[in-house]
Amino acid sequence: MIGVKALPEFIIQREKDFPGSTGAFSRILRDIGLSAKIVHRAVNKAGLINMLGSIGVKNVQGEEVQKLDKLANDSFIAAFRTGGECCGVASEENENFIEIEPIDSKTPRYIVAIDPLDGSSNIDVNVSVGTIFAIYSRKSPDNGPCSLEDFLRKGSEQIASGYIIYGSSTMLVYTTGHGVNGFTLDPAIGEFCLSHPNIKIPPSGSIYSVNHGNYNGFGEGIKRFMNYCGDTDKATLRPYASRYIGSMVADVHRNLIKGGIFMYPDTEEAPHGKLRLLYEANPMAFIVEQAGGRASDGRRRILDILPTELHERVPVLMGSSDMVKKAEEFIERYG
C-alpha cells in the first residue's frame, strides 16, 4: 500500500484551497466517509442480516421506505450530530429539515442536503445503489438555529457535493469546486484511497441512459432525441448504446467515466420531473460540471434554479457536454 493516498490525508492537504479554513468542513467530509463505511457494510451483508425489503411505511415522497433506507438515513444524521460541524440536514426521507443542536459550545457553519440511499428499490436484486450529498455554508445567524432559507439555495452556492456508489467496489466521488476526485474503499484497511484523481468526463460518448418505459409520456423533443440516439443507420456512424440501471448514482457514475448522457425528463404523469433538486439534481450537476460536463433541465442550467420548497422536483439532463447540448437542441426545436 506504499504510495496510496487515503481520504483523510487528501482532505487535509486540500485545506490549503480554502484560506482561513478551520478544519470544520474537512471534518464533515470525514463524517460522511465514516457513515459510508457503515452503509457499505450493511449493503454487502443485507441478505444475511435481514436488511432486505421495506419497513412497511412510506416516506414524504410516497415511496416505500426500505430497511436500508432507514439505516442509511439514521447513520448519516447520527454522524452529523456527533461531528458537531453541521447545524441542519435535509433528507429525502424526512418531510422537514432536521435541526442539529450545537455541542461543546461550537458554532456549526454548515448544512447538508442528502439522499441517503438512492436507488434502494434495487437492493433486493443486488444492483448498485448510492448516497448523494450537498454541503452549503449556512446563511442564518451563527447564534441561532438553522432555517429554511439555509436550504432553499441555488446549486451554484454549494461548497461541496459528492456521491458514494455501493457496487462491485464502493467509491466516494466528490468535488469542492476544484475538480472531481474518486476514492475506492479498500476493505482490507477500512479506508477510502485515491483511485480516480481529477476525473474528466469525455465531451461526447456512446451511451444514453433513460427509462424507455416512459417514452409515450415524454415531450416531442425528448422522443426525437431518443430516436436520434437509437438510429442504427450505418451510414450515419451514430449508433448509441442504451444503458439504464435505474439508480441515478450508478447511471451518472458510468457516464462520468465513459462519456454519455443521463436523462430523467418531465412526463405527462410528472410534469415537473421526478428527481429532487436539492439532494439529487444539484449535487450531481455540480460534480458533472466540475468534471467538464453539462447539466440542465432541458432549458435552464440546473445550478441556476432557485428552489421554493425542500422536496422540489426538476427534469434532468446531464453528462457529456456535446450530448446534452444536442438534447437541448431537440427540445428547443420540437418542445
| pLDDT range class, residue 268, cuts 50, 70, 90 | confident
Residues 123 and 227 in one domain: no
Residue 180 and residue 200: Cα distance in Å, rounded?
A: 8
Please report, for residues 50, 214, 260, 318, the alpha-carbon distance to residue 229 in angstroms, rounded to integers and kept in the order given. 42, 16, 11, 15
The pLDDT of residue 237 is 54
Residues 232 and 139 in one domain: no
Q: Is 237 helix (H, G, I), strand (E, B) or coil?
A: coil
**Count of structural domains within the chain:** 2
Let me know if residue 261 belongs to a domain: yes
Residue 158 main-chain phi, psi, to 5 deg: -60, 140
Residues 64 and 139 in one domain: yes
Locate 297 and state its grid cell.
433541465
Let me know if residue 43 belongs to a domain: yes
Residues 170 and 219 in one domain: no
Q: How far apart are the first and last CA of the chain?
A: 54
Q: Cβ(270)–Cβ(313) under 8 Å?
A: yes
88 beta partners: 99, 111
Residue 283 and residue 92: Cα distance in Å, rounded?
A: 13
Q: Cβ(63)–Cβ(118) under 8 Å?
A: no
242 beta partners: 208
130 beta partners: 118, 165
Let me know if residue 1 belongs to a domain: no
Burial of 104 (0-12, 13-18, 19+ CB in 10 A): exposed
Let me know if residue 2 belongs to a domain: no
Question: pTM for the whole thing?
Answer: 0.91
Please report, for residues 22, 84, 98, 136, 184, the alpha-carbon distance to residue 102 in angstroms, rounded to integers and kept in the order given. 17, 6, 13, 17, 32
The pLDDT of residue 238 is 61
Residue 290 main-chain phi, psi, to 5 deg: -65, -25
The pLDDT of residue 11 is 86
- Provide the domain limits for residue 164: 7-196
The pLDDT of residue 253 is 96
Residues 250 and 126 in one domain: no
Per DSSP, 240 falls in state P
Residues 162 and 16 in one domain: yes
Residues 213 and 121 in one domain: no
134 beta partners: 113, 161
Ranking 52-61, 244-253, 274-283 by mean pLDDT, the lowest is: 52-61
Task: Kindly report, residue by residue over 61-108, the tens digit of the pLDDT.
Answer: 656 667 888 889 999 999 999 988 999 999 998 999 999 988 776 788
Locate 29 and state its grid cell.
467530509
Residues 267 and 160 in one domain: no
User: Average pLDDT over the chain, rounded to whole?
Assistant: 88
| Extended beta strands in the chain, E state | 54-58, 64-66, 86-91, 98-99, 110-118, 129-137, 160-166, 170-175, 180-186, 191-196, 207-209, 241-242, 261-264, 275-276, 294-296, 313-314, 316-319
Per DSSP, 46 falls in state T
CATH number at residue 258: 3.40.190.80
The pLDDT of residue 103 is 78
The pLDDT of residue 61 is 63
Q: How long is the chain?
A: 335
CATH number at residue 183: 3.30.540.10
Residues 26 and 145 in one domain: yes
Residues 239 and 187 in one domain: no
CA 117 to chain centre: 10
Let me know if residue 272 belongs to a domain: yes
Q: Is the pLDDT of residue 255 over 70?
A: yes
CA 79 to chain centre: 19
Task: Kindly report, residue by residue over 142-187, the tens digit of the pLDDT.
Answer: 878 899 999 999 999 999 999 999 988 999 999 999 999 999 999 9
Let me know if residue 149 belongs to a domain: yes
Task: Kindly report, residue by residue over 8-40, the tens digit of the pLDDT.
Answer: 889 888 776 665 556 778 889 989 999 999 999
